[in-house]
Amino acid sequence: MSSHIVATQPIAGQNAGTSGLRRKTRDFMAPHFLENYVQSIMNAIGGATGKRFVVGGDGRYFNDRAIQVILRMAAANGAAEVISGQNGLLSTPAASHLIRLNKADGGFILSASHNPAGIDADFGLKFNMGNGGPATEAVTDAILAQTQSITAYQITDAPDVDLTQIGQTELGEMQITIVDPVADHAALMAQLFDFDAIRALFDGGFRLTFDAMHAATGPYAKAIFEDTLGAPAGTVVNGTPLPDFGGGHPDPNPIWASELMDIMNAPDAPDFGAASDGDGDRNMIVGRGAYVTPSDSLAVIAANAHLVPGYAKGLSGVARSMPTSTAVDRVARAKDMPCFEVPTGWKFFGSLMDAGKVNLCGEESAGTGSDHVREKDGLWAVLMWLNILAVTGQSVADVMAQHWRTYGRNYYTRHDYEALDKDIANVLMDDLRAGLDTLPGKQFTGLEVMAADDFAYTDPVDSSHTTGQGIRVMFAGGARVVFRLSGTGTQGATLRIYLEQLETDVDRLHMEPEVALAAVIQAADQIAGLRDRTGRGGPEVKT
């Protein structure tokens, strides 16, 4: 085996967004594209010599080929060891755990999360650091700088490594350790949760349907729910990971997981439904006829975490991404614990968790997790709920009703305008930014603006500063609108509008969200001129 240096030049557009680099699969397959990015990562972290990495992905199309390239480049760059999931599979939370467990220097996770998979769909690569969490802003910036100045990459010309057998193998001087993708993560879950109580729940006839959406979580869910906790075979549906995710869109929300929503709204619905996304870090929670918004799920978990063995001592603090509803803030206030508001993307939670300031984090986009890893964790969230239901003996609908009575309800929805012309989206945001100072005191559909800003954040641990994270408009009475451009799309621009309205009147806690939010939705349209500017009748996706 010999290594060689390949001359190359920068490839435009290798700037990572909210969660690593995400592009069309064919872009990643183009000559030198993947290689440039991998070498840029290795350069940005001070080289790979003597280092230990974890590698794995969500099993999507090109996962298998990309891993072979990363292995050959790691060997050529002098890495000591790479730990790979068997057949190249690892969910994002499992990869995060393996990095921490093995004290690795970082990990390469191959995924475009919930984006569709296939040669004509999307592919992605994200680098996680030694703490198991996504590359920080500083490292992401360093990687971008490398992609703009790269002149060569190193690769060996060895044949493919066989990743089908668990055990040790070598690539030149580099050791390759192939591990069961599920075992270590499942063992971690057994430490955190009362598996006996959850087993008793299933023994008593409690029925769960878990939709793995043909993506990474299938094997994890089968091992934990069916093989360990005694849920009957068939509890996990769409449980076999497929390279094209069965042609679906593994984004666990009522729109894309409509198959599960139909099951949960049928007369013979199971007690509990859940789903996860492409790489297993997101979750959807739904009771019989009772969908739980991710923001509410975070608040319920914050309110009840002490019922779960791993969190029996109570939480040190909680954090949410800025657009996530303020439901969790109300729980934190009632329980007198710190609550942080950070920019979108899990990388911003890492320093708070490393410093012990928080051990529960969440995003409105169906991400919830704790400091057991440094990523959001779909199966963890589902187990949190199962453990809470097992202890309280309540249904999901009962838990929600009680929570809203205690803390009030933050009605919430997100509207997405997808694949917009980038210029139109940018001008819309620029105009909003320019007009911020004129908003306070104005009325829109009867709602008075109290404050408006462009969200900026200073990390309380390392003082790093981030600006331009989204326009916030706060109204009197606890309503809020946030305008933000997506950083994970691969086509045009996606404008996300996050809409929220607090309700504390006990007689108004069970309305249709779109009805409760009607005035806020109209106000957002008036403030941004959405229909006129986009030329569309409304958003493509409402979640």
- Using CB under 6 A, pick the residue from 113, 351, 368, 490 that binds ligand VG1: 113
Q: Please list the residues that pair with 367 across neighbouring strands.
A: 282, 363
**Contacts of Co ion in 92-121 (CB under 5 A):** 113
Q: Does 364 bind Co ion (CB under 5 A)?
A: no
**Contacts of ligand VG1 in 13-72 (CB under 6 A):** 17-19
Residue 440 or 487 with smaller CB distance to ligand VG1 = 487
Count residues contacting ligand VG1 (CB under 6 A)?
Answer: 20
Closest approach, Cβ 487 to ligand VG1, in A, equals 4
* Cα distance between the two ends of the chain: 52
> Helix, strand, coil: what percent of the chain each, to 5?
35, 25, 40
User: Which candidate in 84, 113, 325, 370 is catalytic?
Assistant: 113
Q: Which does 413 bind (CB under 5 to 8 A by kind): ligand VG1, Co ion, none?
A: none
Residue 52 or 97 with smaller CB distance to ligand VG1 = 97
Q: Which does 487 bind (CB under 5 to 8 A by kind): ligand VG1, Co ion, none?
A: ligand VG1
**Contacts of ligand VG1 in 478-517 (CB under 6 A):** 486-488, 496
Q: Which does 503 bind (CB under 5 to 8 A by kind): ligand VG1, Co ion, none?
A: none
Of 42-50, 277-285, 419-427, 455-463, the segment contacting ligand VG1 by CB under 6 A is 277-285
CA dist 346 and 129 (Å) reads 13
Is residue 518 exposed (0-12), middle (13-18) or buried (19+ Cβ within 10 Å)? middle
Q: Please list the residues that pair with 104 across neighbouring strands.
A: none
Of 144, 119, 2, 136, which Cα lies nearest the Cα of 61? 119
Closest approach, Cβ 14 to Co ion, in A, equals 21
For helices 294-304 and 327-334, give the axis angle rounded to 10 degrees: 10
Residue 77 or 113 with smaller CB distance to Co ion = 113
Q: Which does 107 bind (CB under 5 to 8 A by kind): ligand VG1, Co ion, none?
A: none
For 73-124, the DSSP string reads: HHHHTT-SEEEEEEEEE--HHHHHHHHHHTT-SEEEEE--TTS--STTSEEE
Beta carbons within 8 Å of 460's beta carbon, 6+ residues apart? 340, 352, 357
CA distances from 525 to 68, 240, 399 (A): 48, 42, 34
Q: Which does 488 bind (CB under 5 to 8 A by kind): ligand VG1, Co ion, none?
A: ligand VG1
Kindly calculate the radius of gyration of the chain based on its CA atoms and give it in whole angstroms: 23
Residue 114 or 320 with smaller CB distance to Co ion = 114
For 389-429, the DSSP string reads: HHHH---HHHHHHHHHHHH-EEEEEEEEEEEE-HHHHHHHH
CA dist 487 and 495 (Å) reads 10
Q: Which does 344 bind (CB under 5 to 8 A by kind): ligand VG1, Co ion, none?
A: ligand VG1
Residue 211 or 279 with smaller CB distance to ligand VG1 = 279
Contact mark string toward Co ion, 56..95, x via CB under 5 A: ----------------------------------------
Closest approach, Cβ 113 to Co ion, in A, equals 3
CA dist 534 and 428 (Å) reads 9
CA dist 172 and 1 (Å) reads 6
Which two three-digit tokens encode residue 240?
């076999």
Asked if 14 contacts 37 with a C-beta cutoff of 8 angstroms, the reply is: yes
Closest approach, Cβ 279 to Co ion, in A, equals 4
Strand 409-420: give its sheet, edge to edge: 443-444, 447-454, 471-475, 479-485, 493-503, 409-420, 541-542
Closest approach, Cβ 498 to ligand VG1, in A, equals 9
Please say if 113 is a catalytic residue: yes
Closest approach, Cβ 167 to ligand VG1, in A, equals 30
Of 180-188, 218-226, 273-281, 383-391, the segment contacting ligand VG1 by CB under 6 A is 273-281
Q: Does 277 bind Co ion (CB under 5 A)?
A: yes
Of 12-20, 173-181, 512-520, 525-533, the segment contacting ligand VG1 by CB under 6 A is 12-20
CA dist 480 and 452 (Å) reads 10
Map residue 520 onto helix, strand or coil: helix
Of 2-10, 277-285, 451-459, 490-498, the segment contacting Co ion by CB under 5 A is 277-285
- Using CB under 6 A, pick the residue from 293, 297, 365, 410 that binds ligand VG1: 365
Residue 281 or 371 with smaller CB distance to ligand VG1 = 281
Cβ neighbours, 10 Å, residue 232: 11
Contact mark string toward ligand VG1, 183..222, x via CB under 6 A: ----------------------------------------
Q: Which does 211 bind (CB under 5 to 8 A by kind): Co ion, ligand VG1, none?
A: none
- Using CB under 5 A, pick the residue from 105, 194, 226, 279 that binds Co ion: 279
Contact mark string toward ligand VG1, 306..345, x via CB under 6 A: ---------------x----------------------xx
CA dist 141 and 315 (Å) reads 33
CA dist 359 and 390 (Å) reads 22
Site of interaction with Co ion (CB under 5 A): 113, 277, 279, 281-282
Residues labelled catalytic? 113
Site of interaction with ligand VG1 (CB under 6 A): 17-19, 113-114, 277, 279, 281-282, 321, 344-346, 363, 365, 367, 486-488, 496
